[in-house]
């Protein structure tokens, strides 16, 4: 029996659990969630599941796969507590993983000592849509990746997704952020002590490929990317198309290469996490970035966010208050 533990079932944690219930193997699922309201909401979505625990002490001593879907500001503390009390083989962490560079170093060292393999849920690289883009892309010369997003996108919480996608598509984790500026007012997040903001970002890989993240206006429909060099232009959409998507649950994206258009159903998190679990059970690996790779991107991003907060708002922070 494979033991799977989910720590935190509010928001995305709830969607992880929904997907894990679709895993094709015989598994035991346990959820740690001290918040009664989060459990109540999850039970409304998943009335047949009822294996909840208030604290880490109460779950199985030997955990094969653990998903930690808490807020970033408490994640290191939870990891330290978990590993002091339980034996864990594999861990998937939600993004933004941590709010400081030191936390990454401490946790990576801890995982290495304990022989734990870990990944970060930057899920865009796992979508069939972007696997298709990767299969047709031509990186023989400098390529521009322009990612446009809708009004609901928050650079503070979602930039890491696009940075990870950029690294996946151009096979290069050695990037630098050349420019980042905040273009909207800073607002308080629904998560206590955290903030949200939007803006523009430009990054470059060590191989010369360039990423531009732009948008955040009400006229932009959904998220889409244009990938272009002198040899090839690829357009891809994550599926917010009112003509194609008459049912909001059937989100259809597309990849366009010249006149060749491929329509690809969008996969929600509630039908994606189960593929991670199946793959880890089968081959001790999955489509996500390892924590070590993701840490490189997080550290660059956190530094850029702190600099921009200081320049635009005269706000100095040690731990960047995002999640």
Is residue 308 pLDDT above 60, yes or no? yes
More confidently predicted of 152 and 40: 40
Is residue 65 pLDDT above 60, yes or no? yes
Is residue 246 pLDDT above 60, yes or no? no
Rounded CA-CA distance 130/237 in Å is 9
Write the burial class of residue 91 (CB in 10 Å: 0-12 exposed, 13-18 middle, 19+ buried): buried
Rounded CA-CA distance 162/160 in Å is 5
Residue from 309, 301, 96 nearest 211 by CA: 301
Q: Where are the alpha helices (DSSP H) in 93-252?
A: 101-114, 128-136, 155-170
For residues 98 and 76, the answer to whether their CB atoms sit within 8 Å is yes
Q: What is the pTM of this model?
A: 0.95
Is residue 75 pLDDT above 70, yes or no? yes
**Residues ≥6 apart with Cβ < 8 Å to 158:** 149
Rounded CA-CA distance 85/89 in Å is 13
Domain 128-266 is of which CATH architecture?
2-Layer Sandwich (3.30)
Mind listing the pLDDT tens digit for each residue in 259-305? Answer: 899 989 889 999 999 999 999 999 999 999 999 999 999 999 999 99
Q: What are phi and psi of 120, to 5 degrees?
A: -120, 135
Is residue 257 pLDDT above 60, yes or no? yes
- Give the mean pLDDT of 213-242: 77
**Which SS3 state, helix, strand or coil, does residue 170 take?**
helix
Pick the CATH number of 2-123+272-287 from 3.40.50.720, 3.40.1280.10, 3.40.50.1000, 3.30.428.10: 3.40.50.720
What integer pLDDT is reported at residue 315 of this predicted model? 86
**Residues ≥6 apart with Cβ < 8 Å to 122:** 95, 160, 161, 164, 165, 288, 289, 294
Using 50, 70 and 90 to split pLDDT, how confident is the model at 153?
confident
What integer pLDDT is reported at residue 298 of this predicted model? 98
Tokens of 265: 């159903």
Tokens of 146: 């322009």
Q: Are strands 62-68 and 87-93 parallel, antiparallel or unpaired?
A: parallel
Roughly how many angstroms between the first and final C-alpha of the chain, as a whole number? 33
Using 50, 70 and 90 to split pLDDT, how confident is the model at 237?
confident
Mind listing the pLDDT tens digit for each residue in 23-53? Answer: 999 999 999 999 999 999 999 999 999 999 9
Is residue 6 pLDDT above 60, yes or no? yes
Residues carrying CATH 3.30.360.10, the chain: 128-266
Torsion of CA 192, 193, 194, 197, to 10 degrees: 110
For residues 106 and 75, the answer to whether their CB atoms sit within 8 Å is no
Mind listing the pLDDT tens digit for each residue in 100-144? Answer: 999 999 999 999 999 999 999 999 999 999 999 999 999 999 999
Residues carrying CATH 3.40.50.720, the chain: 2-123+272-287
How far is C-alpha 172 from the chain's CA centre? 18
- Give the mean pLDDT of 236-263: 73
């Amino acid at each position: 029996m494979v033991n799977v533990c989910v720590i935190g079932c509010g928001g995305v944690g709830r969607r992880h659990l929904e997907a894990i219930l679709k895993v094709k193997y015989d598994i035991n699922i346990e959820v740690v969630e001290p918040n009664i309201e989060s459990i109540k909401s999850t039970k409304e979505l998943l009335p047949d599941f009822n294996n909840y625990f208030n604290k880490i002490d109460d779950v199985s001593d030997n955990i094969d796969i653990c998903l930690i879907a808490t807020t970033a500001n408490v994640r290191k503390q939870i990891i330290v507590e978990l590993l002091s009390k339980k034996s864990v083989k594999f861990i998937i962490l939600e993004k933004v993983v941590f709010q400081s560079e030191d936390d990454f170093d401490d946790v990576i060292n801890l995982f290495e000592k304990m022989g734990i393999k870990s990944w970060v849920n930057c899920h865009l690289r796992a979508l069939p849509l972007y696997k298709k883009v990767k299969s047709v892309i031509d990186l023989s010369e400098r390529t521009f990746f322009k990612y446009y997003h809708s009004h609901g996108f928050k650079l503070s919480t979602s930039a890491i997704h696009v940075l990870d996608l950029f690294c996946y598509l151009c096979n290069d984790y050695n990037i630098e952020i050349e420019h980042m500026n905040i273009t909207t007012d800073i607002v308080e997040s629904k998560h206590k002590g955290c903030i949200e903001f939007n803006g523009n970002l430009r990054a470059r890989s060590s191989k010369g490929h360039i990423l531009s993240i732009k948008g955040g206006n009400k006229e932009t429909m959904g998220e889409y990317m244009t990938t272009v060099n002198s040899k090839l232009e690829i357009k891809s959409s994550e599926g917010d198309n009112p003509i194609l998507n008459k049912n909001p649950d059937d989100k259809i994206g597309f990849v366009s290469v010249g006149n060749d258009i491929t329509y690809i159903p969008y996969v929600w998190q509630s039908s994606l996490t189960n593929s991670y679990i199946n793959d880890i059970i089968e081959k001790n690996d999955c489509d996500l970035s390892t924590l070590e790779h993701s840490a490189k991107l997080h550290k660059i991003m956190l530094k850029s966010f702190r600099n921009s907060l200081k320049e635009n708002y005269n706000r100095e922070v040690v731990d960047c208050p995002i999640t």
